[in-house]
Amino acid sequence: MKRPPLFLRLRIHGEKRRPGCWLPLFILLPLAVALLIVLSPLILLAAIILRRRERRNRKVQLAGIVLRMLFSPGGIRAGFGLLCSTPGLRIDVSDNDGVFQISVI
């Protein structure tokens, strides 16, 4: 069964050891969705403005593409599917200089 991720475990440190942090995605994601719904009129307006200006700047171009994908018919469903596929993802890179660990639970 597909479910959104519950936690994101992040651990980044250099030579000096630091504890990792656990981000409770099951709290943060609903908050982000609520914020997205509240701000959706502004986002839609930004998408329209960026569409007119997007040929000038690459960053603006990228932001415009992301916004257009979010507001496309299948965009939200595909984005949610992508999010639900992340549990189990684990990236762990370590060497003498430090550690980078990210895992989605």
Partner 1 sequence: MAQNQKRILEMLANNEITLDEAHRMLGALEPDSATPDIPTREEARTVKARPKYLCVTVQPGPGHENDDDAERVNVKVPLALIRSGIKFASVLPRDVGDRVEDRLKDRGIGLDLRNLNPDDLDDLIEALADLEVDVESKDEKVRVFVE
Q: Which residues bind partner 1 (CB under 8 A)?
A: 2, 65, 68-69, 72-75, 78-79, 81-82, 84-96
Q: Pick the closer one to partner 1 by CB: 19 or 95.
A: 95
Residue among 12, 11, 18, 14 at smallest CA distance from 97: 14
Give the list of residues 6+ apart from residue 24 with CB closer than 8 angstroms, or none: 6, 7
Min separation Cβ 67 and partner 1, Å: 10
Min separation Cβ 86 and partner 1, Å: 6
Min separation Cβ 77 and partner 1, Å: 8
Distance (Å, whole) CA 86 – CA 83 = 6
